Chain A
Amino acid sequence: MTLYRTAFGGETFRFGSLRETLAAATPLRSGDELAGIAAASETARVAAQAVLADLPLTTFLSEAVIPYETDEVTRLIFDSHDDAAFAPVRSMTVGGFRDWLLSDAATPAQVTALAPGLTPEMVAATAKLMRNRDLISAARKAPVTAAFRTTLGLPGRIGSRLQPNHPSDDLQGIAAGILDGLTYGVGDAVIGINPATDNIPNAIALIEMLDELRQRYEIPTQSCVLTHITNAIEIMARGAPIDLVFQSVAGTEAANDGFGVSLSVLDEAYDAALSLGRGTTGQNVMYFETGQGSALSADAHHGVDQQTLEARAHAVARRYRPLLVNTVVGFIGPEYLYDGKQIIRAGLEDHFCGKLLGLPMGVDVCYTNHAEADQNDMDVLMTLLADAGVTFLIAVPGSDDIMLNYQSLSFHDIVYLRNTFGLRAAPEFEAWLERVGLIDASGHLLESDAPTRALIAGAA
């Protein structure tokens, strides 16, 4: 029986379980306070981190934070654990693992090979012992590539989702948003629409429009309409040209149930999407969104802190070898991540955990108008994520998503990251950008109007 306690400055701190220790060790955030599981004091938080640091990693193979018997995500985590991949770090404590990851001894090849041997709880615990800079430098050691028509995650590159949402799904309005984004070189990760109305004929109209536009301009990228996965199954059965299948996922069976999904539904959709064989450079066909607080908002958190649950959602995603996974980090609201500081921290944590677990992790760098955050906080987070090697970021026209009523990055921000830091688009997409004259050979977006005029003329 593991005892979760430590002496600290003459005081003894006791935590009832692994679950409680993880929660108390989490850097302060409003969602854990709302759930009533945050550390009782700042001192108790550090004490919990000290307890975590001394725990053997093998603790996570014997104690589940949510019972195996009652939660299929726990069963997935335990049943798919790869003992051989885990072997190199088997004897380490959480703190020892953290130190090793940050040391020169841990090479990208070694860190990447560990992924199937790491459980989400191990990675979440490690993140709790890291500062923001540690989350950046360790994530850089875990590059992940995935491919469909473009190859994402290559070194020195940063992908982008073009998100051209419209409040009434007007096809002209969405096409206008897509053209705008393309002229900024955005869209190599995916052109992805959140539909305003969620019926199947509407989704098919959007899917067909996206496919027609992609073919007319011969753009090497993939598209996605982010409709519910059961709709996607039906749409595939009707033969519409689906590239990627999307679903929001969470870290508990009950929260996934709240989303109307289960592993068996995800399995079914994954098989159907694979059978379409539409990828050219790769066959990663799934797109998942996650976000801290989603389980709590569904009252399905089982007393587990939201950062650990987020990592468990990553474990769900990795079963399906996705092309794209992103956390919607500031979208869920200030009751989960209160301000810019908490959003920035969570964005870096989610990216680190996703990468360590082997996911092509992206981030929707975003906030709502009732959070204590603004575009300056997003500037900080996107720049840090670019340094951390994030797979892709989401961008909308002028940072203003007029359908979902929140602010994400702008198309301009993707240009900033590429032109300022020399980061490049996915190679297949980049070749297209150069061919239509939007960028030069170094990947720098040019200021000439001519290619934009040509694209707009092509839409008429």
Chain B
Amino acid sequence: MTGEVTKDPWARLRAATPARIGLGRAGSALPVAANLEFQFAHARARDAVQRAVDFAALADDLAPHPTILVDSAAPDRATYLRRPDLGRRLGPGDWPALDGHPASDLAFVIADGLSADAVQTHAAAVVRACDGPLKGLKVGPVVLARQGRVAIGDQIGARLGARLVVVLVGERPGLTVADSLGAYLTFAPRDGRRDSERNCISNIHARGGQSHEQAAAKIAWLARQALARGLTGIALKDDAPALDGHGQTGIGRAT
């Protein structure tokens, strides 16, 4: 019968995996409903990458935490995606708002990374959830870094005179979760820090990921360890919870 969709008897196995199994087929193609569902998931992920973070709204969400808005050296989203090096440093200008702050134990930097949705949905909530667990530490202003990647926190942290910088950044969106936030901690931030000198908490989101409170607890635990031991990175990682959900393909595990 032409145009008939072949149904697959997959009900039981479908419960064993979130993978898109048992979709059925129309000839060799996806049935129209499954195809549209896929398109929808991809569109949502694309929007999350392309959308601009509303930093004014984010600053409101963060109140009463004082905020400072800076730009990376990437002038627009297309350049940002092509030139990760530009997203890792401050753009042209003196950025006087970063100077003259009293020395602090810790400063937050919020950078859009690869998911505006993650930053808009989770970043302010994570900072506020940290208020309690970080009690007793001197916390500097929250810097909002437009078109920023993780390493922009090195330059910003150094300018602020913070002993430790915590960068909250939108992670690369997948089809299932497009709003996952990551947190990267770097002790003694300065230009040229390597990724192996950071600790990461990933998968902060509401679809089976870490809650804001769980993430805040881990950030605070790592921050206190880092400040006490004077380091972040591999040496701290041994004690930290398992973080990296990626497999060992070895290629392209870029932030």
Enumerate chain A interface residues (CB-CB to B < 8 A). 30, 33-34, 164-167, 170, 172-177, 179-180, 183-184, 194-198, 226-228, 231, 247-248, 259, 289-291, 293-294, 297, 328, 331-336, 338, 368-370, 374-375, 396-400, 402-407, 410, 412-413, 415-416, 418-420, 445, 447, 449, 452-453, 456, 459
Contact = CB atoms under 8 A, between A and B. Distances in A.
A335 B250 contact: no
Contact of A370 (B19, B172, B176): B172
Interface in B1-57: 6-10, 12-14, 16-23, 25, 27-30, 34, 38, 41-42, 45-46, 48-49
B49 A248 contact: no
Contacts of A452: 8-9
Contacts of B22: 180
Nearest to A249: B250
A445 B49 CA distance: 38
8 contacts: A33-B82, A165-B19, A176-B10, A194-B249, A226-B249, A370-B81, A398-B30, A407-B175
**Interface of chain B, helix or strand or loop or mixed?**
loop
Contact of A369 (B18, B45, B83, B247): B45
B173 A369 contact: yes
A35 to B, nearest CB: 10
B29 A179 contact: no
A172 B16 CA distance: 6
Contacts of B23: 397-398, 412
Contacts of A368: 172
Contacts of B42: 369, 374-375, 407
B204 to A, nearest CB: 15
Given A34-B85, A402-B174, A226 B247 contact: yes
Given A176-B13, A176-B14, A397-B19, A369 B174 contact: yes
A292 to B, nearest CB: 10
B250 to A, nearest CB: 3
B17 A170 contact: yes
B245 interface: yes
A333 B254 contact: yes
Nearest to A335: B84
A197 B242 contact: yes
Contacts of B6: 447, 449
A459 to B, nearest CB: 8
A176 B18 CA distance: 10
A334 B251 contact: no
B16 A332 contact: no
B21 A420 contact: no
B135 interface: no
Contact of B16 (A173, A184, A297, A396): A173
Contacts of B13: 172, 175-176, 179-180, 456, 459
Contacts of A419: 27-28
A63 B201 CA distance: 47
A405 B172 contact: yes
Given A369-B174, A416-B28, A404 B14 contact: no
B5 to A, nearest CB: 10
Nearest to B35: A375
Given A180-B10, A400-B38, A370 B252 contact: no
Given A170-B17, A176-B17, A398-B38, A335 B83 contact: yes
Contact of B82 (A334, A398, A453): A334
Contacts of A374: 42
Given A226-B249, A332-B251, A369 B172 contact: yes
Interface string B226-246: 000000000000000010011
